[in-house]
Chains A and B, each alone.
Chain A
């Protein structure tokens, strides 16, 4: 009985996957058909995009991808820890938090990617302004989720831990930080796609490399195939990051299960 049910579930999953692939292939085929027999001026077509990606691959595509990924990684490595740390500390200092809250909310009310032009003026054309943009965006995301996480911790738990002999910094390091881990991981999960957005927006504005630069360059040439090729690359990066975020999510779930 039970094995039959399991077998059914697996079979159903297989059918879903096959249907998805068929649907995807049909869409691509339709696009290709339209481009080949009607017009490919404004819509290009999959075979042209594939060919372009092949050309690019021999001509520095990896460098562009590496540039974007480097900006994301560096930005995350700066923004996420700083945001987490400040969230933990301010979460425990309600008076200071009250003081700086209007400043933080004011800054956060700016659509952050619009800081890009200013950052380019300040920090130049290369990696620096994009890294800083990504770190600002991820800083805020991690700060807010961590800060919210700290607020959910029961005062009684903290007081009890203090009575067991914990100093103020030990309360943060050994009790609040691990208790907020699920929140911090959720913040990271949101920050991953945002890091891609901010890195590419920065590149589109002014850059010498990066997938956003490829996209912008193609658009300046009114090169539809080039633009769609760059978007395809972004999609692949985005999907990969989404998968990483889902893995993170599953870890969060396991953690929650353990804690509950």
Chain B
């Protein structure tokens, strides 16, 4: 739940990519601010610049114009205060699940003693429900399990902000709900700020405090909606709540034009 302190601020931030055929506008000038401990979902058709925003917040890309600040300071280098879970699998295939989860703690930025690391890995394995799979390599795990490993690896070094780019896009519907439940629990316990990109509107409403709908090519904010569903939410049943349906219909109206245009 947001606590009123502004953590992330985009002021007129735009991004254009240079191509041989000329510059392509990925994101039109955008204003957006995210408060500490707020869960914000970015929804929109593909190619609307949602992932570009995450990349800029992580410091992997610079805005073409405008000002992007994190905790009051412009992001002009890698932002190590965020954890980033991308759509694609970025686990190290030659290390088993436990070692992958613990890998951030072996790096100079989060150097941790072996015993402490083992203890944290153990706790993370329990948190994401992977007991018994510590020694399995990513190639031996199912898609859902690999996502859990990636999630645990992001959480183990306790970044204050989580950037998630369609983290569960490739999972089946049931598994997605299980992961939603986990994410909600973990974010609640850890008091995290979350920027969550998805094109699944129901997922956005079920999880977020605020949903930002983007229009496509170049991306721009179309509408912003507070999600006033009480917490904690039962992600398995919330879809049947009348308020959920209302919000879904309202936001779908905005999103529909964009999806149809695609």
Contacts and interface: CB of A to CB of B under 8 A. Distances in A.
Given A156-B86, A160-B86, A165 B93 contact: no
A259 B140 CA distance: 10
Contacts of B108: 165-167, 170
Given A258-B137, A258-B139, A163 B94 contact: no
B186 interface: no
Which residue of A154, A179, A258 has the most chain B CB atoms within 10 A of its CB atom? A258
Contacts of A181: 94
A181 B92 CA distance: 13
Contact of A160 (B79, B90, B93, B110): B90
Contacts of B24: none
A259 B138 CA distance: 8
Interface in A121-177: 154, 156-157, 159-167, 170, 174-175
Contacts of B103: 164, 174
Contact of B92 (A156, A163, A175, A260): A175
B139 A165 contact: no
A14 to B, nearest CB: 36
Nearest to A160: B90
Which residue of A159, A165, A181 has the most chain B CB atoms within 10 A of its CB atom? A165
Chain A's interface: helix, strand, loop or mixed, by majority? helix
B12 interface: no
Contacts of A30: none
Given A157-B90, A178-B94, A163 B78 contact: yes
B84 interface: yes
Interface string B132-147: 0000010100000000
Interface in B72-127: 78-80, 82-84, 86, 88, 90, 92-94, 103-104, 106-110
A160 B104 contact: no
B195 interface: no
A259 B90 contact: no
How many A residues are at the interface, by size bracket? 20 to 34
B158 to A, nearest CB: 12
Contact of B58 (A163, A170, A259): A163
B36 interface: no
Contacts of A179: 92, 94
Given A156-B90, A175-B92, A259 B80 contact: no
A181 B94 CA distance: 10
A164 B103 CA distance: 8
A149 B106 CA distance: 24
B201 to A, nearest CB: 26
A165 B157 contact: yes
Given A170-B107, A174-B106, A258-B137, A163 B93 contact: no
29 contacts: A154-B88, A156-B86, A157-B90, A159-B60, A160-B90, A161-B90, A163-B58, A163-B60, A163-B78, A163-B79, A163-B80, A163-B83, A164-B104, A164-B109, A164-B157, A165-B104, A165-B109, A166-B107, A166-B108, A166-B109, A167-B107, A174-B106, A175-B92, A179-B92, A255-B94, A258-B137, A259-B93, A259-B139, A260-B93
Interface of A: 154, 156-157, 159-167, 170, 174-175, 178-179, 181, 255, 258-260
